[in-house]
Amino acid sequence: MAVPKRGSYNICYFVQFPDGVKWVVRVPLAPCLAFGARSKLESEVAAMQVVASRTTIPIPRLIAYALGNNSKPLSSFLILEFVHGQRIDLRGLKKLPEEQQANLCTSLADIYIQLRRLEFPSIGCLESGPDGIQVKKRTTSLDINTQELEGLQPSAIQDSYYDADGRLTSANKYVSMLLSIAVNAFARGRGSVLDENQGGDALYHLHLFRQYALKWVDPLLDQGPLVMVHGDLEHFNLIVNEDMTIVSVLDWEWSRVVPRQFFIPPLWLGIPNTINLAYDFIYKDYLKRFQRLLDLVRTRELDMYGQSLLADEWAAAMVDSGFLVANALENWTDMDWFAHRFINWKWYRVHAKDGLAERVRVFMEEDPIRRALVAAKLKEGRAYKVALDGLKNGNDEAENHSVVKLSSQVPVPD
């Protein structure tokens, strides 16, 4: 057996039998999963079963699994076939021979084309039951998992948007929910504000992003389509062969069903940094590389289905950095960067930089709640920094004596 490998949310054990057959035993790391190992595996297994039965997307064969309810390390696990190949090296992506680049883009096109056609009646995570595989749980993303682990309780906000049957079918409400989760993360996060000017600036850009996002969301798509996404379809979750053809898509643990506008292409085709993609000139450079994938999607769709559904949707969605709006909504710390680097420039152009300080000042003076929130967060942020510095210096008691809780008397602005 090879040396185990630990990822962010699983530890993998590699088993080889005398006949050469290899398996991967994936054990979830429960302390890293806010909603438990069982819940994660339920969604992952259901997603893999849907993909295996309804598409030709290459995934590891699911050999066995256990969904336990207790805290024992091996109460929940997956056993998957081992897929030979290599991960994609982004550093050499642009230097690949033409044929290999074409193979990679064709593989990506086939994956996204088929995923786009996996539609469901509700937003959330899949689960297998007596009536088949259905959306049974609230959506769980990498970002929501992290926030829940930090004690920010985004799940409490989700509860107010999902109905009594655990269903959410409105794209508009989904966007509203994500915006509320972002404001909550700012208001409850202990390190949100470490400097007075930074606090007002951050709150202003959250406000700016909210305005832009509400204009971005298409009201005609409020009731669907609702489509399945992988949830973490980054380059490191793709296994390719020597020809750069994708032979396996790994790690479906964050798969979920989302509104159509959130079905976006791989942003890592440009640079693996969505913060820098927020600059308009970098995003436009990304679109040049994306155009090749888009052309292949259109060609392959016409061959496979006689229509260009996804190609037409992406062609319309890519304008005004539309892909980055969807990404930021599901990754709240990107909202500030996108608002600062793109929305600020788009709406104010020549005055984007010079007039920013004045716009922030006016914004903060318009509502005393905003000033009170930033003041409270600044006090808490300074205490948090003291706690961190104390822990770095080996003072285990620092956190207990340096935490200032956000006063419940300070309302959170919309």
pLDDT band at 407 (very low <50, low <70, confident <90, very high): very low
Which positions ≥6 away from 103 have C-beta within 8 Å?
243, 244, 245
Q: Are 37 and 134 in contact (CB under 8 A)?
A: no
Supply the pLDDT for residue 406.
44
Supply the pLDDT for residue 1.
61
Supply the pLDDT for residue 197.
81
Mean pLDDT, to the nearest integer, of 335-358? 86
CA 201 – CA 186 distance, rounded (Å)? 12
CA 109 – CA 90 distance, rounded (Å)? 18
Residues of the chain above pLDDT 70, percent? 94
Supply the pLDDT for residue 20.
92
| Residue 404 pLDDT exceeds 80 | no
| Residue 405 pLDDT exceeds 50 | no
Amino acid at 354: D
Peptide bond into 411 cis (omega under 30): no
Of 23, 26, 33, residue with least CA distance to 74: 26
Write down the mean pLDDT value for the chain. Answer: 91
pLDDT tens per residue, range 288-309: 999 999 999 999 999 999 999 9
Supply the pLDDT for residue 73.
72
Supply the pLDDT for residue 403.
42
pLDDT band at 396 (very low <50, low <70, confident <90, very high): low
Mean pLDDT, to the nearest integer, of 217-245? 97
Domain coordinates in residue numbering, the chain: 5-351
The number of beta carbons lying within 10 Å of the beta carbon of residue 398 is 17
pLDDT band at 316 (very low <50, low <70, confident <90, very high): very high
Supply the pLDDT for residue 402.
42
Residue-wise burial string across 106-120, b where 16 or more C-beta atoms lie within 10 A, e elsewhere: bbbbbbbbbbbbbeb
How many degrees, rounded to 5, is the angle at CA 216 between CA 214 and CA 218? 95
CA 279 – CA 146 distance, rounded (Å)? 26
pLDDT band at 350 (very low <50, low <70, confident <90, very high): low
pLDDT tens per residue, range 38-53: 999 999 999 999 999 9
Of 196, 178, 208, residue with least CA distance to 337: 208
Which positions ≥6 away from 284 have C-beta within 8 Å?
none
pLDDT tens per residue, range 64-107: 999 987 777 788 999 999 999 999 988 888 889 999 999 999 99
The number of beta carbons lying within 10 Å of the beta carbon of residue 174 is 24
Q: Are 126 and 257 in contact (CB under 8 A)?
A: yes
pLDDT tens per residue, range 235-260: 999 999 999 999 999 999 999 999 99
pLDDT tens per residue, range 162-195: 998 889 999 999 999 999 999 999 999 988 898 8
